[in-house]
């Protein structure tokens, strides 16, 4: 795939994001042969454009790490993308639903490392030993594709639907919890919409961060200390509507909430 094609595809998804409108997935007609490797090149170009526009990377995110998500999205391999500064929503704040296309929310466990982790061969145990804090989080995803309908390369090119992140402020040391059996409920206006446990994420959320380190290594990159890392939705994502109060409650890991107006 030549440089112009990469740029064209990155512009295609980036413009949809900026203009808050749905587009048909890349693999429908625009470029049906898009491979996973190529899709990460498109994502890199998209990220370059965002950085050029003055936005800053806050941290990486993993996606499609649970069975619930794989089933919901009909794709079946973990992927990564990035959360940017303009996507961060403060705990307890409100967002305007009209600033998004068709937003959904999903509960995630966040990590902050005390030291960089560089693959290959990073294990779950390596991650736990390097983790300074874990925290509760909600990710807001907003695929730029019509009806959230995409293949794996499409969603990678679209920065894995990243649109918002609410990082909870309840920090815990990883050794204080058994992250795989930490339960979570996601409720909207007080009604539980989905629930699960940490183990839904690749058997252990720290395994997802290990996977991230090993995937980034292929690009000569690493998971950096100090950045908040989203380890992937524990449950299927839930559609957000105006007037929603969204709350994720975790066993032993506090809770995090925000409003959709």
User: How near is the Cβ of 239 to ligand OOG at its closest, in Å?
Assistant: 12
Q: Of 156-195, which residues contact ligand OOG (CB under 6 A)? A: 160-161
Looking at 39-47, 125-133, 174-182, 230-238, which segment touches ligand OOG (CB under 6 A)? 230-238
User: How near is the Cβ of 260 to ligand OOG at its closest, in Å?
Assistant: 17
Pick the binder of ligand OOG from 13, 46, 64, 163 (CB under 6 A): 64
Cis, bond preceding 120 (omega within 30 deg of 0): yes
Distance CA 69, CA 160 (A): 12
From residue 113 to residue 142, what is the string marking binding to ligand OOG with x (rule CB under 6 A)? --------------------------x-x-
Determine how many CB atoms are found less than 10 A away from the CB of residue 165: 22
Position of tokens 């940490």?
A: 198
Joined tokens for residue 125 = 């145990």
Distance CA 159, CA 6 (A): 14
Joined tokens for residue 214 = 């090993």
Regarding beta strands 94-95 and 255-260, do their DSSP bridges make them parallel or antiparallel, or are they unpaired?
A: parallel
Q: Do 135 and 253 meet the contact criterion of CB atoms below 8 Å apart?
A: yes
Q: Of 226-245, which residues contact Mg ion (CB under 5 A)? A: 233
Q: Of 194-233, which residues contact Mg ion (CB under 5 A)? A: 233
Q: Which residues bind Mg ion (CB under 5 A)?
A: 63, 139, 233
Q: Which residues bind ligand OOG (CB under 6 A)?
A: 61, 63-65, 69, 73, 106, 139, 141, 143, 148, 155, 160-161, 232-233, 237
């Amino acid at each position: 795939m030549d440089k112009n094609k990469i740029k064209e595809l990155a512009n295609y998804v980036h413009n949809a994001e900026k203009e808050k409108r749905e587009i048909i997935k890349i693999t429908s007609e625009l470029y049906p042969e898009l491979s996973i490797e190529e899709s990460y090149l498109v994502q890199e170009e998209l990220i370059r454009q965002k950085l050029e526009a003055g936005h800053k990377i806050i941290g990486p995110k993993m996606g499609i790490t649970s069975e619930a998500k794989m089933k919901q999205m009909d794709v079946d391999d973990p992927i990564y993308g990035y959360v940017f500064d303009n996507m961060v929503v403060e705990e307890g704040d409100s967002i305007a639903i009209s600033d998004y296309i068709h937003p959904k929310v999903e509960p995630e466990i966040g990590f902050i490392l005390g030291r960089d982790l560089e693959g290959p061969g990073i294990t779950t145990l390596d991650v736990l030993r390097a983790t300074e804090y874990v925290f509760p989080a909600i990710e807001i995803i907003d695929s730029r594709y019509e009806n959230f309908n995409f293949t794996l390369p499409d969603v990678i090119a679209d920065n894995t639907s990243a649109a918002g992140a609410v990082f909870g402020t309840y920090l815990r040391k990883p050794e204080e919890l058994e992250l795989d059996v930490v339960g979570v409920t996601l409720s909207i206006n007080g009604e539980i919409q989905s629930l699960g446990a940490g183990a839904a994420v690749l058997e252990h959320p720290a395994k997802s961060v290990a996977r991230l380190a090993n995937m980034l290594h292929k690009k000569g990159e690493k998971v950096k200390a100090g950045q908040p890392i989203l380890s992937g939705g524990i449950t299927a994502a839930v559609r957000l509507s105006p007037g929603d109060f969204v709350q994720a409650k975790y066993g032993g890991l506090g809770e995090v909430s925000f409003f959709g107006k």
